[in-house]
């Protein structure tokens, strides 16, 4: 089965069971695999990265939950009354991120590997805009994840955008939603809902 899949240019089913969900063909999948290996290797050698490539984690929602738990322990917050919100930064390269304490953020993290579907991102204004013709996905700049107490979370002019593992928006188990990101918008949320706006961690190419 593995030999036949490799010959035909598809990822063997056995391999897909051991890796994050993706719709990539074999060539792109191998590049994805090597990038995942590099992230884990650097994590082991140098400690937690300042910018996490979220697409490379097998269960990204577990990592985000751990971020909230870590902040709760450090600040003494009740876990069941804590949440997180996100901010799309102006940084498009992990090397340009201003790192606190010379290493990583004290609370939360920066994440990369987010592709916007159904809309575009206005980099100058830092907000959603209508999708450009013939462009299905747009890679977002780095996003900052910020843990916060739920009663202090007050967001305005924001569209709660679902983040899915793949463009299918569901995996074989019927799940696929990782979290909801907060994207700035001056338009009514119904516009983006009708446009089917979402963020995916993995594109098919």
What pLDDT score does 196 carry? 93
8 A C-beta contact, residue 112 and residue 91: no
As a whole number, mean pLDDT of residues 140-167 equals 93
CA distances from 193 to 13, 121, 177, 189 (A): 34, 16, 16, 6
Q: Percent of the chain scored above 90 by pLDDT?
A: 61
8 A C-beta contact, residue 199 and residue 161: yes
What pLDDT score does 121 carry? 97
Q: Which residues contact 46 (CB under 8 A, 6 or more apart)?
A: none
Whether 159 has a pLDDT exceeding 90, the answer reads yes
The tally of CA atoms less than 13 A away on the side-chain side of residue 24 is 20
Query: What average pLDDT does the chain have?
Result: 89
As a whole number, mean pLDDT of residues 135-139 equals 93
Which of the four pLDDT bands, split at 50, 70 and 90, describes residue 160?
A: very high
Q: pLDDT digit string (tens) for 100-126?
A: 545 578 899 999 999 999 999 999 999
CB neighbourhood size of 170 (10 A) = 13
Query: In degrees, to the nearest 5, what angle opens at C-alpha 172 toward C-alphas 3 and 67?
Result: 105
- For β-strands 143-149 and 137-139, DSSP reports them as unpaired
As a whole number, mean pLDDT of residues 71-99 equals 89
Query: Rounded distance, CA 148 to CA 124, Å?
Result: 27
Tokens of 70: 């870590």
Based on the number of CB atoms within 10 Å of its own CB, is 1 exposed (0-12), middle (13-18) or buried (19 or more)? exposed
By residue count, the chain amounts to 205
What pLDDT score does 106 carry? 85
């Amino acid at each position: 089965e593995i030999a036949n899949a490799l010959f035909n240019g598809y990822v063997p089913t056995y391999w897909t069971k051991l890796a994050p969900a993706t719709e990539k063909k074999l060539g792109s999948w191998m590049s994805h695999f090597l990038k995942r290996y590099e992230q884990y290797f650097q994590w082991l050698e140098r400690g937690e990265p300042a910018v996490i490539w979220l697409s490379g984690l097998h269960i990204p929602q577990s990592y985000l939950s751990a971020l909230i738990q870590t902040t709760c322990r450090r600040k003494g917050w009740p876990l069941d009354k804590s949440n997180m919100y996100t901010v799309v930064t102006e940084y498009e390269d992990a090397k340009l991120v201003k790192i606190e304490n010379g290493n990583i953020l004290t609370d939360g993290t920066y994440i990369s590997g987010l592709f916007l579907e159904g809309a575009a991102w206005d980099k100058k204004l830092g907000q959603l805009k209508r999708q450009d013709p013939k462009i299905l996905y747009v890679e977002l700049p780095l996003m900052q994840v910020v843990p916060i107490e739920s009663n202090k979370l007050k967001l305005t002019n924001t569209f709660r955008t679902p983040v899915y593992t793949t463009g299918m928006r569901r995996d074989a188990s019927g799940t696929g939603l990782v979290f909801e990101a907060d994207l700035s918008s001056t338009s009514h949320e119904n516009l983006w809902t009708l446009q089917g706006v979402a963020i995916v961690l993995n594109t098919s190419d």
